[in-house]
Amino acid sequence: MATIDHKDPVVVIIGSGAGGGTVAHQLTTQGVKCVVLEAGPHLTRDDYENDEWRAFTQMAWLDMRTTSGSWRVANDFPNLPAWIVKAVGGSTTHWSGATPRFMEHEFRTRSVYGEIDGANLLDWPITLDEMAPWYDKAEKAIGSSHRHGRPALPANNNYKVFANGAERVGYKYYATGPYGTNATPYDGRPASVQDGFNFQGDKSGAKWSTAVREIPRALETGNLDLRPECQAVKITHDDAGKVDGVEYLDAAGNLHKQAARVVCVAGNSIESPRLLLMSSSSLHPDGLANSSGQVGRNYMRHMTGSAYATFERPVRMYRGETMAGIIADEAKYDTSRGFAGGYYMETLSLGPAFLAAFVEPGEWGRSFTEKMDAYERTAGMWIVGEDMPQESNRITLNTEVKDQHGLPVPNVNFDDHPNDVAMRNHGYARADLLYEAVGALSVHHTPPYPSTHNLGTCRMSDRPEDGVVDRWGKAHDVPNLFVSDGSVMTTGAAANPTLTIVALATRQADHILSEMNAGNL
């Protein structure tokens, strides 16, 4: 690892997850010195706990946050709007691993879907064609199954129920992937031992994460100064309007400033806009890079829901790779269903501890304990689809409530769009049919969990007046400030976002390198 002087203006990357970890890897392996500020600790495989609550306490982002709006999370989990990771590797530490690409039309939903009341749809400034080579690179980095010669994962018990149900209702596009965990050894990492723990960090290393691949390789170059437990609190700029440093608090609460030539913000879609809003100045009175007023707006969390079905005979859904099962038949634009956008169905399993907390928050009595008593005979799926961006779904600074550092906490305001509700109901109904086709005794519809996919709060547009960043993720208002995470997504598509975040970050790093070489950065 490099030790970089605080006065040395280097590339400063805030966050080490799918976006930040990828940019750090791309730049340091090309000889560029980088400082990565990571708010969480440096956990590695031996630290991870195969225990839901212990792991949650160990790695979840539990700093104070507030919520508002009509979404049910605001009632059930008012201070936990999102379930993401605060550790080196970010949320790739606990991601499940599904890696579908976006569809072609999902980059131009304003044109394809047209005007939808209340939705702030916008076409991306880039296309699937343009992204294709970057998707290839991302899939190879991750080692996605079913792609580039990587073999499929075998069928686990939960998948057997899921895929047989899919076949019986006439679905065709189901498989155990594409999925970011090795079926056979690849890239120095072993094959899955089907240990059943994904959301807690993978102790075996079979699952891709930036903590297991990009960060260690970046450290090996000698060009990365990784600073865990360092929370960025303000990005500063010079008189000319270029960013020139990042102020951060270390583990002991001491304030430091790292000089910067370029700043890449990759703190996930709640912390990234929060940091920009906290970095307001006389030049940027409404927050850094916020002349459009779009910083923090258009917060998307994907339309989600889960279905848990009980059967007469054992399933034991917890054994094996949690999300190695994907049905893509409903991932299409088909308005005969009564909504725009599409969704995927993906296998999902929780242990008893998490199932009790999430299956029907607040429920007690026999209706609740019957669900728990059926644990061994239960199969589960997650439904994940495109939600509509809305200007009022928004991250703001809550100056009434302070975090442990005395800083305003982020407030997450969210209302479902009617399109989201129609899609969720359609997904639940299709899940019922699927599980009934293989003999389900009952199917329970579980409401959305705290958000795992957080998107859109610094959206990409060619036009500075309606987006925060340009086609490269560079801030329209600041020539050397980049956003490198899922915040840049103009719209959310139906696919799990990690693959696309990695592809975008790889492409962005390539652009930063050429701009540096051209003397523009």
Partner 1 sequence: MPESESAEQPPQEPVELQRDTAEGDGTAPAGLSEQQQRTLLRLLKVAYPHPDFPDDPYERTAKAVQDADGSAELLADGLDDLDEQAGGDFAGLSDADATKIVEQVANGAFFKLVHSTTVVALYDDHQVWELLGYEGPSFDKGGYVDRGFDDLDWLPDPRVEEYDGEPRAEIVATELVKAEGSN
Q: Provide DSSP, 108-159.
A: -HHHHH---TT------SS-HHHHHHHHHHHHHHHT-TTSTTPPPPPP-HHH
- 367/514 with CB nearer partner 1: 367
Q: How far is the CB of 464 from partner 1 (least distance, A)?
A: 25
Q: What is the distance between the alpha carbons of residues 179 and 33, in angstroms, rounded to a whole number? A: 32
Count of beta carbons in the 10 Å neighbourhood of residue 149: 7
Min CB(442)–partner 1 separation in Å? 17
Closest to partner 1 by CB, 248 or 482: 248
CA contacts within 13 A on the Cβ side of 324: 30
Residues in the chain: 521
Minimum gap (Å) between residue 247 Cβ and partner 1? 7
Minimum CB–partner distance for residue 47 and partner 1 (Å) = 13
Give me the half-sphere count of Cα atoms (radius 13 Å) on the Cβ side of residue 130: 10
Residue among 219 and 438 whose Cβ is closer to partner 1: 438
Of 14 and 226, nearer to partner 1 (C-beta) is: 14
Q: Which is nearer to partner 1, 56 or 186 (CB)?
A: 56
Cα separation, 210 vs 218, whole angstroms: 10
Query: Which helix or strand (DSSP H or E) is residue 225 part of?
Result: strand 224-227
CB of 256 to partner 1, least distance (A): 11
Shortest reach from residue 269's CB to partner 1, in Å: 19
Q: What does the alpha-carbon distance between residue 483 and residue 478 come to, in Å, rounded to a whole number?
A: 11
Question: Distance between CA atoms of 63 and 45, rounded to whole angstroms?
Answer: 23
β-sheet bridge partners, residue 303? 385
Of 25 and 101, nearer to partner 1 (C-beta) is 101
Q: What is the closest distance, in whole angstroms, from the C-beta atom of residue 176 to partner 1 in the complex?
A: 4
Annotate 7-49 with DSSP letters as a single string: TS-EEEEE--SHHHHHHHHHHHTTT--EEEE-SS----GGG--
Q: How far is the CB of 72 from partner 1 (least distance, A)?
A: 14
Cα–Cα distance, 219 to 238 (Å, whole number): 30
How far apart are CB 89 and partner 1 at their closest, in Å?
18
- Cα torsion angle, 145, 147, 149, 154, sign: positive
| H-run or E-run covering 384 | strand 378-385
Helix H or strand E segment including 220: helix 214-220
Q: Which is nearer to partner 1, 12 or 278 (CB)?
A: 278
Work out the number of other CB atoms within 10 angstroms of the CB of residue 334: 12
The residue (of 5 and 373) whose beta carbon lies closer to partner 1 is: 373
The per-residue b/e assignment along 264-273, b for 16 or more CB within 10 angstroms, e otherwise, is bbbbbbbbbb
Minimum Å gap between C-beta 160 and partner 1 is: 5
For residue 377, what is the DSSP state? Answer: G
Residue number with CB closer to partner 1 (131 or 355):
355
Q: Which is nearer to partner 1, 155 or 259 (CB)?
A: 155
